[in-house]
Structure 1
């Protein structure tokens, strides 16, 4: 299925410059530093801590950026680059650009109805949105919103593996029914990493029922909640302290559950839904056997997100996995981890063309995307930039932040002397941390 083309670089530049003649400036900054500054002003402290924050002292986030800085593009000249093609094929779908919207949980911390806005933004550009398992709108609603923009708009579904297998099956069935083209299993978040920005303000969005809409809309999850209410545990948990913050959290839970606010305030369901989610959302014992079982339970391509070691990549393709996302979760899980870009070449070599290889974490610009593609990625996933655009201007902001990356990728491709993504190889780059010579 061919998707509508995203605006190429020159067309996007011209549109912005033409609007500037009439005094109109883009709502979303064209450079990442200003985008980040504006987003921080648009978000509250809780949103900024969760979305912009990282694990520990932030070493992995810094490593993600420094890895891109070590690679330099070596442009070639006097080549006909008047026509360029950014399209790629992923699992039988031709995309106009090798870009996907990454899943980011609890997006409503940046903007209300975040997943609806992100889904529409992705559909505007014709590139996939990987629905977050920790989303703020049910997947069916997001799929319908995307269909209303572009029939057949590509979407994938991210799966966090619950301790309840029946819930896993239910989420997968729903993903298949709503038109997901792949299941992305996140491997690196079987437990939450140490995130000081959230810890310092005692803020976990899921504890306020933010980002659990996939669960509260799921029949199996609701069944588990009902069973728990009918058969309460002997452990009643910590004594409830009545504070202003506790009352605010209770109202947040009630607002986020299906049904009226008043009935939810009177019901044990919201509080029990939050506790159930916290108890069962992820399984630390997740193993290769579980992944092999998933392959038998779905006909969709299975993509593993969070692989950084070539041996794990090799094991995945030996198992018949369809795709890998090289990722350190945007530096949010393990402080001092290898950067995704540094891990990419070894993973690409281990996979040896037997599966699609994607990458996320630290990709903020079109030139970043160019470097990742040159080092062997089939496509790249964009996280914080689209969330920052969302915070600034909703759907239009999320769309424009990613459209800017696509436009810069297009211009970088042509200005470096290349006309399509397939022509990019490691030879178009130099690692400035090793050998500075241009051969």
Structure 2
């Protein structure tokens, strides 16, 4: 696996770490459980990181030196792809001939390197976009920076080079075909999953314990946002929505809480305190709490402590936070974009657009209806049970096997053709 710009060892919610990191970790672990050895290649960002780190038995993370460890943004990484590829080739050269059966690259930067590696090692290239420039640019948040043309060109090249393209949802598959001209026969849909052991519902006692652990009042109405703080994820919509709720019903102020769990990322790094400033300017500084990114156990407690989890993103290829919240039994209010309708299912509410008034109404009506929230919570758990990571990995293994078989058949055809043997006689 190739994940150039973000390490699977990084804490989701910090820097560029998010759903992609979770995807790589969870699929790699389960592939190893099935006897598939996995090497993950990622860029080294600290001298303290070892060149090789075992994630779990059977999964090794290789930290490749490509540019300075600190101070490089994701937009600077195209200039380091040659150095990264060279480091990856050195690792490959230390392995026996034919050691790697295939390359699975994640995000377009990784696809560029994966393309070279797959070509060098004469193996299939499987690629997962995770996000796409043309989709993001079509749904850009106000004031956000468009993705550059160079990324669009790079994505087109990877789409053309890949043996198979893995889309998170049927909608993303259509976008690959319609926006990037992907060959429909190369596109496969594999819905991401959720760790059903880690994310599971709780009872009333568990909810009280979770609230006490995080210092949340027993009678508080809690809206939870989890993710990187940047315009794409639209946490500002929630700050404006709670301001609308308080303005319409001032008595809410003493109980209403918006909890934002995450750190600035991407274009949000330009104004890291913009959300705090917005809360102050709108007069709801006392209603909004900011919490740094947390580990999985603390995140589960936050899901249990919340009444509603809100996912107002302008673009999401799937929405792992939504499915994790659902598995935890917490209803979701999400934007009706990308893969979020698939992730939410009938376990929550979808909001068209990003008008704070619409979000205030959706959140307020759910916060004020205990029976409706409980019903959505039960539906959410049932919906999430269909999306365990084991299901995703079983599907990936089928795609890997077919790609390797097709690749081997192509090699046989090519060798016979070179020898003057008609390929039609190959069984």
The two structures share one fold, judged by TM-score above 0.5:
no
How high is the TM-score relative to the length of structure 2?
Answer: 0.31
Higher relative contact order, structure no. (Cα contacts within 8 Å, ≥ 6 residues apart): 1
